[in-house]
Amino acid sequence: MKYVDEYRNSREADLFANAIRQSTTQSWTLMEICGGQTHSIAKYSLQDLLPKEISLLHGPGCPVCVTPISLIDKAVHIAAQPDVIFCSFGDMLRVPGSREDLLTVKSKGGDLRIVYSPMDALKIAQDNPQKEVVFFAIGFETTAPANAMAIYKAKLDDIKNISFLVSQVIVPPAIRTILDSPENRVQGFLAAGHVCTVMGYREYEPISKDYRIPIVVTGFEPLDILQGIYLCVKQLEEGRAEVENQYSRSVLKEGNLSAQKIIQEVFQIVPRQWRGIGEIAQSGLGLREAYARFDAENKFSCEIHSQERSSECISGLILQGIKKPNECQAFGKSCTPEFPLGATMVSTEGACAAYYRYQSVQS
């Protein structure tokens, strides 16, 4: 498969691993900030190729995992309404709420539909004018352009029976929150290549400067990640703290300006709750006043009293890079993908799901 197999070449991987070993003279702790990278690290056992001095932590790089439990509870409430068609990406259906998840609502007769694009929800709304259609708009900056375009088109076409339950989050404020924590151990970051494809990486430069920390924009294939680690370690060993772009085949410094334009048209910066972390200022996107009539939280007002169901689950510590999945007492026992206690065991990008699927025992 051209342009994929090239980035999974075992010989090239060994060369990068050897370069990392030769460059490493002391212990360094790095964090990847993308769930896709976490899954590649687990799937290809990349930690095993690294010298023992290099430790990889897994950050809050899964948008499903960081969607606050209060919003899951609101989604459950809305989806249970008799005249609602609730549209969502598939991995949201099993994220635990306070009492139940969206899949439970579906099993009780709720009209929940898995879609692959927010545009699918627009088509469903047009085909079902007698129903209220709600799309669960989650994600990092990566999904924001498509969600913004769907909302923009809903207004343009005057589709009155659709609304959006928005949980868009922004990566850079989360990085600052991790670095500000007294428990922080991170000395270098692998930034998410798909986020930077949209937004560029200018906004990472002040973080690198303020905290004196290397940030390497990195792709998702094994060679991408190994090269990203090499560049990060090389900076640390040389005493540098810069933003570098490993993922240059996709990422420009300024990002995708057209995508940014539609985001800015529809969304504004707001504070946002992150599951397992708490509220982070200026870390979310909310609808601008001109699009407020498409806000599902306004259309379906409900009072929600949310709380985590399991005291065993340490997903919050995992999302902050303080713990690893196999350090959780419930991992693989009372918490499995079939019976998840937390969101990190549910999502296709969750760290716990990655460990469970690929390597249940990993240091």
Question: How confident is the prediction along the chain (363 residues), in pLDDT tens digits per residue?
Answer: 566 778 899 999 999 999 999 999 999 999 999 999 999 999 999 999 999 999 999 999 898 999 999 999 999 999 999 999 999 999 899 998 888 999 999 999 999 999 999 999 999 999 999 999 999 999 999 999 999 999 999 999 999 999 999 999 999 999 999 999 999 999 999 999 999 999 999 999 999 999 999 999 999 999 999 999 999 999 999 999 999 999 999 999 999 999 999 999 999 999 999 988 899 999 999 999 999 999 999 999 777 766 666 678 898 899 998 999 989 999 999 999 888 888 899 887 899 999 999 965 444
Beta carbons within 8 Å of 147's beta carbon, 6+ residues apart: 118, 135, 137, 139, 164, 166, 168, 266
How many structural domains compose the chain?
1
* CATH code for the domain in which residue 198 is found: 3.40.50.11750
pLDDT digits 0-9 by tens, 148-177: 999 999 999 999 999 999 999 999 999 999
Residue 221 lies in a domain: yes
Residue 18 lies in a domain: yes
Residue 240 lies in a domain: yes
Look up residue 219 and give its two tokens.
């792709």
Residue 49 lies in a domain: yes
Whether the CB-CB separation of 267 and 225 falls below 8 Å is answered with no
E strand spans, the chain: 28-32, 54-58, 84-88, 111-114, 132-139, 162-169, 188-192, 215-218, 243-245, 267-274, 278-287
Phi-psi region of 124 (alpha: psi -120 to 50; beta: other; left: phi over 0): alpha
Local structure of residue 322 (DSSP, 8 states) = S
| Domain assignment of residue 50, given as a range | 5-63+171-245
HEC per residue, 72-84 = HHHHHHHHCCCCE
Q: Mark 202-224 as b/e (b = at least 16 C-beta within 10 Å).
A: ebbeebbeebebbbbbbbbbbbb
Local structure of residue 325 (DSSP, 8 states) = G
Residue 361 lies in a domain: no
Tell me how far apart the alpha carbons of residues 114 and 101 are, in angstroms, rounded to a whole number.
14
Tell me how far apart the alpha carbons of residues 101 and 92 are, in angstroms, rounded to a whole number.
9
Tell me how far apart the alpha carbons of residues 240 and 188 are, in angstroms, rounded to a whole number.
11
Residue 187 backbone dihedrals phi, psi, to 5 degrees: -115, -10
Look up residue 97 and give its two tokens.
């709420």
Radius of gyration, alpha carbons of the chain? 21
Q: CA torsion, points 99, 104, 106, 107, in degrees to nearest 10? A: -140
pLDDT digits 0-9 by tens, 171-219: 999 999 999 999 999 999 999 999 999 999 999 999 999 999 999 999 9
pLDDT digits 0-9 by tens, 7-28: 899 999 999 999 999 999 999 9
Angle at 186 between CA 184 and CA 190, to 5 degrees: 140
Residue 215 lies in a domain: yes
The closest of 108, 101, 115, 99 to 81, measured between CA atoms, is: 108
Beta carbons within 8 Å of 184's beta carbon, 6+ residues apart: 178
Residue 346 lies in a domain: no
Residue 139 lies in a domain: no
